[in-house]
């Protein structure tokens, strides 16, 4: 077992050397509230605001939508609660206006109602207020600040135009109006135009270009499973990659056409993170067990000079599905929330991590955790957890999942006697998740019981 882990560690170092640059996913302070289908924005002062979302930690039938908001301070590495939204929101969108305020637009509220009010958050006072009203209800929408400072909001057949502070809204119907698709994503291209990618009811993904508030061109993507996450490339093209897909495409604004890139070796599960050297990072699933079960994760990086995705060292984050990330500058991204693997479907996660393209995985807290903790079988029915006294004191319980992602057993762990027994465990492969006292996973390991 020791040789196996030594080999894994050496392999991670080799991968970093092959890439020529080191990257790491670092653990930071967890949010106070679990969240999925939430929103997050970087504030002008460099802090990060997380808003709303779903918190289903009480069970799969408890559809609790949050009003609560939190602020992350990179200087201290800590979250703190701030003023709550006026209404609970999930499946909504946000923008930072040119005036530095955050607007919350659309979405669903309690009892699956829709939200018309537009709310504004002032970082100076840390207070929310209602500033305007959208003409009709929308959710699963996206918004962007245009070059004029006005706000474009799209969702399928709906196009909305807001003034710079979000107080005045009109529904637009350009003369060459086309559908923007279901759950569209908006992206500001280097040529000044806005790219929108969404799905038709038929399932076909397609792109719409906007010049101001007028659609100027449309084109279908090559594959309808590509998805809608976007990132800029150094030559002005746009990388498009999906949540829940291995497929990625390149959009060329000069021709208005798509081309297929190299496929990532694993399923991309979260936002794309453009790096300072022109490459793009994405968190992916290495061993996807489905929602409700843990999976080993890695980071993959797309290099436009080679048109290839390359895997880096494991990061062992448990909440890559629907996690949100925002840039913090200097090659760092804050990653927070998402579906908590090991929880109920749409059960939000408190976990927060930092992607640092300039840090070595060797000094990452996740790597230290990986190297420190071990699960060792002591007979068929007995498992011993080994590690430093400091690491063992952090452990609350051990959760056992089958390969379908179903929780089979859960055991509380006594740090002074870190041994637990599992009787009547059927032959097969299981995943053991080590959980700390805050409910976050520290480590996962597969075991084959034959």
For the beta carbon of residue 371, count every other beta carbon within 10 angstroms. 15
Give the pLDDT score at 27: 72
Position 389 scores a pLDDT of 77
CA distances from 121 to 33, 86, 88, 291 (A): 19, 10, 14, 33
Burial 203-226 (b: 16+ CB within 10 A, else e): eebbbbbbebbebeeeeebebbeb
Measure Cα distances from 25 to 134, 300, 310, 356 in Å. 39, 12, 16, 6
Q: At a CB cut-off of 8 Å and minimum separation 6, what does 111 contact?
A: none
Domains of the chain: 26-173+262-357 (2.120.10), 373-449 (2.60.40.10)
CB atoms within 10 A of CB 437: 10
In which residue are the tokens 């930071």 written?
A: 28
- 242/100 Cα distance (integer angstroms): 30
Q: How far apart are CA 376 and CA 382, in angstroms?
A: 9
- Full pLDDT tens readout for the chain, 450 residues: 334 333 333 333 333 333 334 566 777 888 999 998 899 999 999 999 999 998 876 655 567 899 999 999 999 889 999 999 999 999 999 999 999 999 999 999 987 678 899 999 999 999 999 999 998 878 888 999 999 999 999 876 778 999 999 999 998 765 444 555 556 889 999 998 999 887 665 555 678 888 877 777 778 788 766 667 899 999 999 999 876 667 889 999 999 999 988 877 666 767 899 999 999 988 776 443 333 334 445 678 899 999 988 877 555 455 557 788 999 998 999 999 887 654 444 567 888 888 888 865 432 333 333 345 677 776 657 788 877 777 788 888 888 877 666 788 888 888 888 888 877 778 777 777 787 776 666 777 777 776
CA distances (Å), origin 106, targets 63, 129, 133: 18, 15, 9
352, 340, 322, 348: which is closest to 52 by C-alpha? 348
Structure confidence at residue 179 (pLDDT) = 52
């Amino acid at each position: 077992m020791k040789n196996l882990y030594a080999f894994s560690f050496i392999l991670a170092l080799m991968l970093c050397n092959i890439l020529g640059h080191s990257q790491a996913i670092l653990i930071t302070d967890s949010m106070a509230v679990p969240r999925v289908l939430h929103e997050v924005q970087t504030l002008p002062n460099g802090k990060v605001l997380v808003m709303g979302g779903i918190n289903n930690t009480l069970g799969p039938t408890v559809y609790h939508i949050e009003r609560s908001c939190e602020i992350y301070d990179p200087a201290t590495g800590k979250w703190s609660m701030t003023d709550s939204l006026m209404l609970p929101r999930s499946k909504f969108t946000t923008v930072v206006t040119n005036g530095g305020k955050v607007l919350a637009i659309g979405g669903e509220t309690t009892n699956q109602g829709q939200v018309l009010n537009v709310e504004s958050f002032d970082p100076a006072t840390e207070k929310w207020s209602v500033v305007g009203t959208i003409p009709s209800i929308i959710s699963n929408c996206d918004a962007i600040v245009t070059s004029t400072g006005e706000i474009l909001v799209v969702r399928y057949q709906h196009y909305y135009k807001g003034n710079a502070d979000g107080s005045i809204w009109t529904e637009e119907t350009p003369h060459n109006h086309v559908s923007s698709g279901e759950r569209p994503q908006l992206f500001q291209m280097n040529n000044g135009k806005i790219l929108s990618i969404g799905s038709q009811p038929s399932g076909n993904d397609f792109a719409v270009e906007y010049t101001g508030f007028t659609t100027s061109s449309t084109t279908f993507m090559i594959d309808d499973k590509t998805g809608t996450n976007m990132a800029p490339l150094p030559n002005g093209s746009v990388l498009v990659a999906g949540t829940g897909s291995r497929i990625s495409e390149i959009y060329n604004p000069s021709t208005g056409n798509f081309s297929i890139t190299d496929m990532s070796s694993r399923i991309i599960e979260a936002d794309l993170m453009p790096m300072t050297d022109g490459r793009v990072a994405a968190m992916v699933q290495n061993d996807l067990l489905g929602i409700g079960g843990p999976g080993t994760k890695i980071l993959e990086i797309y290099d436009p000079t080679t048109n290839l995705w390359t895997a880096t060292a494991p990061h062992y984050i448990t909440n890559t599905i629907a996690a949100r990330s925002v840039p913090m500058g200097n090659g760092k991204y804050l990653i927070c929330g998402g579906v908590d693997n090991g929880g109920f479907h749409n059960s939000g996660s408190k976990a927060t991590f930092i992607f640092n393209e300039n840090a070595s995985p060797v000094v990452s807290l996740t790597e230290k955790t990986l190297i420190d903790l071990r699960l060792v079988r002591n007979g068929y029915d007995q498992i011993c957890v080994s590690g430093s006294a400091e690491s063992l004191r952090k452990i609350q319980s051990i959760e056992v999942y089958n390969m379908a992602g179903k929780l089979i057993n859960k055991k509380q762990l006594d740090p002074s006697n870190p041994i637990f027994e599992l009787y009547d465990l059927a032959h097969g492969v299981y995943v053991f998740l080590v959980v700390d006292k805050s409910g976050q996973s520290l480590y996962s390991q597969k075991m084959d019981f034959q």
